[in-house]
Structure 1
Amino acid sequence: MSIRKVAARAGVSTATVSRVFTQPQAVADETRRRVMTAAGELHYAPHPAASALARGRTCNLGIVVPDVSNSFSAVVTKAVDRQARREGYALFVAGSDEVVHDEETSARALAQQVDGLLLVSPRMPDDALLALADMTPIVMLNRLLDGIPAVLTNLYEATGHAVEHLHALGHRTVVYLAGPDGYTNDVRLRGFRDACSRLGMEASELGPFAARFQAGVRAADLVLAASVTAVVAYNDEIAVGVVNRLSDRGIGVPSDISVVGFDDTELAEMVTPRLTTVRIPAAMAGTAAVELLLDLVRGRDAGLGSPRELSAELVVRSSTGPARVAPDTGQDPAP
């Protein structure tokens, strides 16, 4: 049923019918009643997208992730999409492939087509983020910047728990496989260094590596050259790559080297041995972020100044075990 037929039956113009559905307060009560009666009799309903555009809204949200194929990004995106649909919004998705320029370009392109934008672990400079926030409402996951609402996970404490777990198993030499430069890696690295220093462990670092399986495969040979008994990897994908390559080289996990990942994605349960990892509530973070974003879009921005912080937890599985015994003395190598 067309708007013209509603206008003809109510005896008004099509512009008046449009105003009844988009700006009802601008139409006289009697006229509004006639239009609504005619619309009801003709079973007319305005198109949702057209109504939204008339109100200056698109009913679209956007999300930019570092890698659309990454397991963690997929969990976050799915949670955001589910919540967005519940609220009547469609979701546009873009991936940067961990390239800062592409991240900024994608974000700027989306900003012109959506009511609000989510950025997952963004790496672009602060001034670029602030300029983007002037274009459209923004919420970030795993990045902290004054003036932009954020959802964070307590990665510093969780990394410390992972190191403490390895120390309790007798490990005294451990390497951290760094991920892409940025807030997330910085916090994990700081937690790793501080925990190792506090516990008197010999710590080394390798990377940065792309947050992907193949990067972990390449990193494994460097791990063997470092002569350590334990590995803390930036994420599960790197960790699983390490486990895979070590197996190919006849190195036992955890009998020779223990491996810890981050994120607790589905990969952690699929690999053999099952991966000890730090569980990050990805779905919860995505839902919290889109709720914050919709509050911004709807003008309910009171109390959004402080970041919303979520807890992480260490999940112990089969990829970590007691440090190997030194063959020459039969004693644990720990001092």
Structure 2
Amino acid sequence: MSVTIRDVARVAGVSISTVSRALANPEQVAEATRHQVQETARTMGYRPNRNARALITGRTGSIGLVVPDLENPFFGSICKGVQARARAAGYAVFIADTDEDATLEDEVVRSLGKQVDGVILCSPRGSDENVAKAAEDGALIVINRTLADISSITFDNSGGARSVMRHLVALGHRRIAYAAGPLNSWSNRERALALREYTAETAGIELVEIGNFPPVFAGGVQAADLAIASGATAIVAFNDLVAAGLVDRLRHRGLSVPGDISVAGFDNVPMSALVWPNLTTVDSPRIQMGRASVDALLDTVLGRSTAPPSNLEIPVELVVRQSTGVVRRAWRIHDE
């Protein structure tokens, strides 16, 4: 027999209305009472009737998460963080994949927004104007991008890019290639800008931007031959998937990583420690980002915060592994 809200109220020693508020609008209940009710409900295995709660509160008890590519492990970790925090708050999560398509993204956000209490839009590929219009239709949090008048969660892309450059320069590299990601990627623009600024500030360093590539393994394979032709002794890849593709193609070209050329990526997805050589990369705490995005969205949905829209920037950290090493110049084919 299923546990009812009346059963929870009886065991917790409070009224049915108090149980309802503690579970649906916890900010309206004193902290001690809220914890008592929530713990009683958890212990008894109580599961609220979402349809009934929607009728009472006007909320669905669900949130939406829109990502550009679920096959990319970067977004899988964000999904994990979103689901964990949403589940703890009593919310279900609907996840949609837009396949890196800006037009589809706009359609999905507008459609999903009608079915949930709010939407988390991850790494949007659409224009600022389209994202802003979507935000007018309901609660929206953007992650991995900043826009005016919309709360967002981002990583310190500039700090991450600079840490990679400092590491490579310390190893003796002076001509460094950048295998960029999609043109419509905000993270790519931020990283490229930071790489250029660091190069301009540091004497004797040259940055070679070899092009924009799909943010997948095949993108790295495409980039490798151009990187070799550039004469760079190190390559910074847009993400770890591109870095892995670079390493694979360089190996097929008869070059050693890092003996002949160093490779570094971004994100520190699980596979970065599984490929050989293990990838030097910038660790982006993606699960933390997912959790923070749910907190920010529910602050809006539940009216827990009246502060104006803002951006939370999460620090990143360079993880040094075997794919980067001291520069060796003998193989270089570029005429300086």
Q: How high is the TM-score relative to the length of structure 2? A: 0.82
Which of 275, 281, 289 is the aligned partner of 1:277? 281
Quote the offset at 1:129 in angstroms.
1.4
Whole-angstrom distance in 2 between the partners of 1:167 and 1:314: 14
Whole-angstrom distance in 2 between the partners of 1:237 and 1:327: 26
Residue type at the aligned position of 2:206:
E
Which of 184, 187, 191 is the aligned partner of 1:188? 191
Identify the residue that residue 32 of structure 1 maps to in structure 2.
Answer: none
Residue type at the aligned position of 1:196:
T
Whole-angstrom distance in 1 between the partners of 2:279 and 2:239: 11
Asked if 1 retains the 8 angstrom alpha-carbon contact of 2:81 and 2:288, the reply is yes
Asked if 2 retains the 8 angstrom alpha-carbon contact of 1:101 and 1:124, the reply is yes
Quote the offset at 1:89 in angstroms.
0.9
Identify the residue that residue 172 of structure 1 maps to in structure 2.
Answer: 174
Identify the residue that residue 73 of structure 1 maps to in structure 2.
Answer: 75
Residue type at the aligned position of 2:182:
P
Quote the offset at 1:59 in angstroms.
0.9
| Stretch deviating more after TM superposition (303-312 or 172-181) | 303-312
Identify the residue that residue 53 of structure 1 maps to in structure 2.
Answer: 54
Identify the residue that residue 38 of structure 2 maps to in structure 1.
Answer: none
Residue type at the aligned position of 2:325:
G
Identify the residue that residue 258 of structure 1 maps to in structure 2.
Answer: 262
- The C-alpha deviation readout for 1:58-113, integer Å capped at 9, x for no partner, is 11111111101101000000110111111111111111121111111111111111
Quote the offset at 1:327 in angstroms.
6.5
| Stretch deviating more after TM superposition (240-249 or 46-55) | 46-55
Whole-angstrom distance in 2 between the partners of 1:290 and 1:207: 35
Match of 1:205, SS? strand
Quote the offset at 1:53 in angstroms.
2.0
Whole-angstrom distance in 1 between the partners of 2:48 and 2:166: 57
Change in CA separation of 1:304 and 1:292 when aligned onto 2, cut-off 3 Å: farther
Are 1:293 and 2:279 counterparts?
no
Asked if 1 retains the 8 angstrom alpha-carbon contact of 2:67 and 2:97, the reply is yes
Whole-angstrom distance in 2 between the partners of 1:298 and 1:226: 53
How do 1:1-335 and structure 2 match up within 5 A?
A: 48-54=49-55, 55-181=57-183, 182-199=185-202, 200-326=204-330
Residue type at the aligned position of 2:51:
A
Change in CA separation of 1:88 and 1:327 when aligned onto 2, cut-off 3 Å: closer
Change in CA separation of 1:129 and 1:301 when aligned onto 2, cut-off 3 Å: farther
Q: Provide the aligned C-alpha RMSD in A.
A: 2.4
Identity of aligned pairs, percent? Answer: 40
Whole-angstrom distance in 1 between the partners of 2:265 and 2:47: 51
Residue type at the aligned position of 2:329:
V
Residue-pair matches, total? 294
Whole-angstrom distance in 2 between the partners of 1:193 and 1:327: 26
Query: Which stretches in structure 1 are left out of the alignment for 5+ residues?
Result: 7-18, 24-44
Match of 2:126, SS? coil
Whole-angstrom distance in 2 between the partners of 1:106 and 1:274: 37
Quote the offset at 1:183 in angstroms.
1.6
Asked if 1 retains the 8 angstrom alpha-carbon contact of 2:199 and 2:205, the reply is yes
Quote the offset at 1:123 in angstroms.
2.0
| Stretch deviating more after TM superposition (94-103 or 232-241) | 94-103
Asked if 1 retains the 8 angstrom alpha-carbon contact of 2:179 and 2:210, the reply is yes
Identify the residue that residue 38 of structure 1 maps to in structure 2.
Answer: none
Residue type at the aligned position of 2:100:
E
Whole-angstrom distance in 1 between the partners of 2:84 and 2:20: 27
Asked if 1 retains the 8 angstrom alpha-carbon contact of 2:144 and 2:155, the reply is yes
Quote the offset at 1:305 in angstroms.
2.4
Match of 2:212, SS? coil
Whole-angstrom distance in 1 between the partners of 2:18 and 2:85: 29
Residue type at the aligned position of 1:95:
D
Change in CA separation of 1:304 and 1:237 when aligned onto 2, cut-off 3 Å: farther
Match of 1:207, SS? strand
| Stretch deviating more after TM superposition (315-324 or 128-137) | 128-137
Residue type at the aligned position of 1:79:
G
Identify the residue that residue 29 of structure 1 maps to in structure 2.
Answer: none
Change in CA separation of 1:100 and 1:267 when aligned onto 2, cut-off 3 Å: same
Query: Which stretches in structure 2 are left out of the alignment for 5+ residues?
Result: 7-16, 22-45
